[in-house]
Structure 1
Amino acid sequence: MNCYLNYTRTAALLLLTVLMVPSCKKFLEEDLKSQVSVGNFYKTEADAIAAVNAVYAYLNSTSTGSTAGVYHSSFWVTAGLASDEMLNNQLGTPDLDQLSSFTNGPQNKTLLEIWQMNYKTITVANIAIERIPLINMDPTLRTRLVNEAKFLRGLMYFNLVRLFGDVPLLTKEVETLKPSRTAAATVYDQVIADLSAAEALPLSYPAGNGKGRATSGAAKAILAKVYLTRKVYDKAAAKALEVINSKQYQLWDDYADVFKLSSRNGKEAIFSVGFGDGGGAISFWEVGQFNVRLLPAALSEEGVENAQGWQIPTLNLYSTYDIDDRRRSVTFVTEIHNKNSTTSQIRPYIQKYWDRVAEPKANGSANDFPVIRYADVLLIYAEASSEQNDPGTAAQYINMVRKRARFNGTVYLNTVPDYGNLSKEAFRTAVLKERRMEFVAEGQRWFDLARTGTLETLVPLAKPGVTPKAKNYLFPIPQQERDINENLTQNLDF
């Protein structure tokens, strides 16, 4: 579900004049003669819609400066580098090198960007949640908009609490300037409360009117992941099953179809963030970010422009796949066909976000970032079922994902066989491996290794000489934030 929400002049002005955030080119082209203020905003139904649209806007790129949106790159790049998934190949980026080698400290600028963008989104959400109920407007729409803002606030706090542990919990428009950290358990309570409220959102929206908006299914799916992270397996299974039983989502038969531009907002997308194409909708400056960061520059011979191959998969990841696993050929590129029709072999790079047919020149990709898709829900349900001593159900649902991996676009091959009724311990290993192969470069891997306590054992297999420590199950609180706010304590050993 793509972030192609109608972004009116009022919403642009909200960002420019109320929040004082640097704007992208699209915003600068707006007529600023009738600038609004906090005092005369939040008066009409249009103001309420614009306010919530502004929260969504922070999920993508929000400026042409150094600060980007929540899911622009720092989030998913960090989750890939600080794991057994990716290596940094971008010259002159010591902060990313540190994440990949687990030598990062509180001065890391990438972690600072993650912290700041999540909290900026929370700030805008808090304003919307507090002010929209005071607007005289259609009550059904008013409730829906508040619940959308709560969904987004809950999602941001879920990001923060997993990454940093105890974090300041801010839920009001006006808060203390120097808040202390709140216990992670209390932050999780707020995440659950926000997402539970968002369960009242619509199952879907009319065609062409709601792309990118949160739905009831998105709230339930993220809730299932919250409960899985908290090891509350009965609730994780229950929420995942509600999503499954809603009949709103399906797997694409072919894994290659998941990342085609024609599949945006399609049947497997539960909640995604668009970086997309304009046409009167939200259009941001850094389209094609996935391809720039992941595809090798050598592919320029095929007509690709600006690809850099900044983050590359570990060879250990590539070797995990069966040779005929459909996900391997879709996820990675290992050869280049140049203009002279000769072929050169290269080390694996990640190509899954490049739809070669729709966008031969990958620098302009309008693909989405998948925050959560239906395959994730199936694997959550499988994992939670296994933890509740139901190996039959666990096998049934993990095998739905594995069956698709056997499909080569035409027929099902004799590869990626079904699992039988595995022991609980064997299933833990199996589902963690399945998630690794299914969600490459989707911002999942560090979170999976952290919640399963496997950082120290699995990372060294992919990165010889790199061994995470106990402290690496959280990231340090950014020092710049602590310099401003002396009430912020630091995580252990940083």
Structure 2
Amino acid sequence: MKKYIATIITFSLLLNACKTDDLELSNGSGVSAETFPQTLAELQQTMNGVYSPLQSQGLYGRYLFYMYDYMGDDCQTQRGTPDLLEFINYTFTSSNNDIYLYWKNAYNGISRANFILDKEANINELEDSVAPQEVKDRYIGQAKFLRAYYYFLLVERFGDIPLYTTTNVSPNGLAKSSKEDVYDLIISDLTDAASKLRLKSSEEAGRVTQGSANALLGKVYLYKQEYTLAKAAFDKVINSGEYSLTANYYDNFNTETENNSESVFEVQFTYDGGNAWAYADWGGQDNGHSETTFRSAEYGAFGGFHNNDPSQELLDEYEDGDSRFSDNFYVAGDAYGIGGANTVTEDQVGAVSALWRKYTKTYGQDNANYNGLSDINHRAIRYADVLLMAAEVENELNNSQAAIDYLNEVRDRVNMPNYGADVMNATYPVTTKAEVFNAIVHERRVELAGEQSRFPDLMRWGLIETVLGSKFNASKNYLLPIPQGEFDTNLMLDASADQNPGY
């Protein structure tokens, strides 16, 4: 399933995606919202619409990776537009349009999932000749997973938020629900989704699976510090036999090896779908959909926008001989482009010592800018991340050897010395729980560089203040501001009483 939006039932969503009058099914396909669905094709096309906000500018199309990478310590920049620089400098306010698009696009996905889940009884009443029960369950499971995923993106960044579980709500909007209530829905949705979704081996590439649900469920429990429950969820993924690390680390960041054995949940992108330069909802415009991402051009230096460079602290984290360094970064003298015909120059590197290679198109074309866009899928959850999260859980449960074994499984892929070996004891000993944790912090940083993990890791570990210093304001920056656009349209929220502290 390389494309989410093809011959799709059109969703028209206005500024507040979760009000009853904001969700409307176009009748261009002859579909009635009251009787939906009547065919399996209607259900499948509508489900594509639940996936599609993942590709939006507010999420994996553009701003999500900026927010997460700029707000950690893995990047630096001498460029970037003023709204983007607000993330690296922590000067954003409720008027930041990128934060609003993140919020809005996530709620768009929730509203679309709710539309399908509101019709669960209709779906289950379809004749088996139209869709067997296993197929009906599969679509309900996908909607529940995606609703949970969008809510996880929101609750981790904003805390207490409006909790929409149906499209049948007051046009005035909803008041905020507690973070705990949002998490309860996420856990309920993922638990039910895991019981309904297919295994990866029997599912269409690009669709969420049982492993996707259990991996995200484990991540949610890990973030909530409920380690026994997290272990149970991760064990289901690890013991399923459905996933393995790819032999080549770099296979996780190009087009030709997408949806591989390491892919647990992958956001699909393609050059084939939609208007390539449709900045959907950017500045209030709606120029159609696009199924491409700006990730390559934004981070790429060769013909790209060069708005993000790796920080020296990140580069220094790599051990000598770690091939992940050269898979993630270019340095002067490296070959790039078609057939490696070009060479990175000192002038191209400039004031920094390395440039991003990961997720850039320069492995198969001469520059990072294919009209500014890329078709490389975003690996939102990959098996290496699951193993590293499982290592963290095992360490918290005082199962240090199990934790070390998971860490070493990740290192074995790139032929790095194992933790516990004499050569590692000088820099990363693993004789205590605290030392194993330090190894986990190191391994997550070098394995997942530029994959939007460092910032949430620092936040949940309580290390963000120490790492970022004075630019991180602990009295407010643990949460993002609720966008002013939400206060403008949701009459059940008050900007004075309901805004997050400090904004």
Q: TM (normalized to structure 2)?
A: 0.83
Indicate the residue corresponding to 1:103 in structure 2: 91
Query: Do the aligned residues in 1 keep the contact of 2:475 with 2:501 (CA within 8 Å)?
Result: no
State how far apart, in whole Å, the 2-side matches of 1:286 and 1:363 are: 16
> Equivalent residue of 1:272, what SS?
strand
State how far apart, in whole Å, the 2-side matches of 1:422 and 1:212 are: 41
- Which sits farther off after the overlay, 129-138 or 159-168? 129-138
| Closer/same/farther in 2, CA of residues 329 and 248 from structure 1, 3 Å limit | same
Match of 2:300 among 267, 289, 295: 295
| Unaligned ranges ≥5, structure 1 | 22-30, 62-67, 301-306, 409-413
State how far apart, in whole Å, the 1-side matches of 2:343 and 2:430 are: 48
What letter matches 1:253 in structure 2? A
> Equivalent residue of 1:371, what SS?
strand
What letter matches 1:86 in structure 2? C
What letter matches 2:308 in structure 1? Q
Deviations 1:148-171 (A, max 9, x none): 000000001111110001111100
What letter matches 1:285 in structure 2? S
Deviations 1:279-299 (A, max 9, x none): 89x996363521101111xx2
Indicate the residue corresponding to 1:217 in structure 2: 211
Match of 1:231 among 225, 250, 254: 225
Match of 2:249 among 252, 255, 278: 255
> Equivalent residue of 2:162, what SS?
coil
State how far apart, in whole Å, the 1-side matches of 2:135 and 2:42 are: 12
Query: Do the aligned residues in 2 keep the contact of 1:224 with 1:237 (CA within 8 Å)?
Result: yes
Aligned residues: 452
Are 2:359 and 1:353 equivalent residues in the alignment? yes
What letter matches 1:309 in structure 2? H
Q: How does 1:17-28 map to 2 (within 5 A)?
A: 18-19=12-13
| Closer/same/farther in 2, CA of residues 8 and 112 from structure 1, 3 Å limit | closer
Report how far residue 19 of structure 1 moved.
4.1
- Which sits farther off after the overlay, 338-347 or 353-362? 338-347
What letter matches 1:105 in structure 2? T
Query: Do the aligned residues in 2 keep the contact of 1:76 with 1:444 (CA within 8 Å)?
Result: no
Match of 2:384 among 356, 375, 378: 375
Deviations 1:71-103 (A, max 9, x none): 212112101111111234444x22221211122
| Closer/same/farther in 2, CA of residues 33 and 380 from structure 1, 3 Å limit | closer
Match of 2:457 among 448, 451, 466: 448
Indicate the residue corresponding to 1:329 in structure 2: 326
What letter matches 1:363 in structure 2? N
State how far apart, in whole Å, the 2-side matches of 1:38 and 1:218 are: 29
Indicate the residue corresponding to 2:199 in structure 1: 203
Query: Do the aligned residues in 2 keep the contact of 1:237 with 1:381 (CA within 8 Å)?
Result: yes
Indicate the residue corresponding to 2:22 in structure 1: none
Deviations 1:278-326 (A, max 9, x none): 389x996363521101111xx24xxxxxx11112221111111123211
Query: Do the aligned residues in 2 keep the contact of 1:5 with 1:210 (CA within 8 Å)?
Result: no
| Closer/same/farther in 2, CA of residues 106 and 342 from structure 1, 3 Å limit | closer
Indicate the residue corresponding to 2:272 in structure 1: 278
| Closer/same/farther in 2, CA of residues 88 and 167 from structure 1, 3 Å limit | farther
Deviations 1:121-152 (A, max 9, x none): 00000001111431424222112101100000
State how far apart, in whole Å, the 2-side matches of 1:377 and 1:217 are: 10
State how far apart, in whole Å, the 1-side matches of 2:456 and 2:159 are: 12
| Closer/same/farther in 2, CA of residues 407 and 362 from structure 1, 3 Å limit | farther
Are 2:482 and 1:474 equivalent residues in the alignment? no
Query: Do the aligned residues in 1 keep the contact of 2:58 with 2:105 (CA within 8 Å)?
Result: yes
Indicate the residue corresponding to 2:346 in structure 1: 344
Q: C-alpha root-mean-square deviation of aligned residues, in Å? A: 2.9
Query: Do the aligned residues in 1 keep the contact of 2:429 with 2:436 (CA within 8 Å)?
Result: no
| Unaligned ranges ≥5, structure 2 | 16-25, 277-287
> Equivalent residue of 1:213, what SS?
coil
| Closer/same/farther in 2, CA of residues 342 and 237 from structure 1, 3 Å limit | closer
Deviations 1:215-237 (A, max 9, x none): 00000000110010000011111
State how far apart, in whole Å, the 1-side matches of 2:154 and 2:28 are: 38
| Closer/same/farther in 2, CA of residues 370 and 332 from structure 1, 3 Å limit | same
| Closer/same/farther in 2, CA of residues 342 and 115 from structure 1, 3 Å limit | closer
Query: Do the aligned residues in 1 keep the contact of 2:328 with 2:356 (CA within 8 Å)?
Result: yes
- Which sits farther off after the overlay, 239-248 or 479-488? 479-488
State how far apart, in whole Å, the 1-side matches of 2:344 and 2:267 are: 37
Indicate the residue corresponding to 1:55 in structure 2: 50
What letter matches 1:148 in structure 2? Q
| Closer/same/farther in 2, CA of residues 419 and 316 from structure 1, 3 Å limit | closer
Match of 1:402 among 404, 411, 430: 411
Query: Do the aligned residues in 2 keep the contact of 1:275 with 1:284 (CA within 8 Å)?
Result: no
Query: Do the aligned residues in 2 keep the contact of 1:167 with 1:184 (CA within 8 Å)?
Result: yes
State how far apart, in whole Å, the 2-side matches of 1:267 and 1:134 are: 35
> Equivalent residue of 2:321, what SS?
coil
- Which sits farther off after the overlay, 353-362 or 370-379? 353-362
Q: TM (normalized to structure 1)?
A: 0.84
Indicate the residue corresponding to 1:181 in structure 2: 176
Q: How does 1:93-172 map to 2 (within 5 A)?
A: 93-135=81-123, 136-137=126-127, 138=131, 139-172=133-166
| Closer/same/farther in 2, CA of residues 340 and 444 from structure 1, 3 Å limit | closer
> Equivalent residue of 2:211, what SS?
helix
> Equivalent residue of 2:468, what SS?
helix
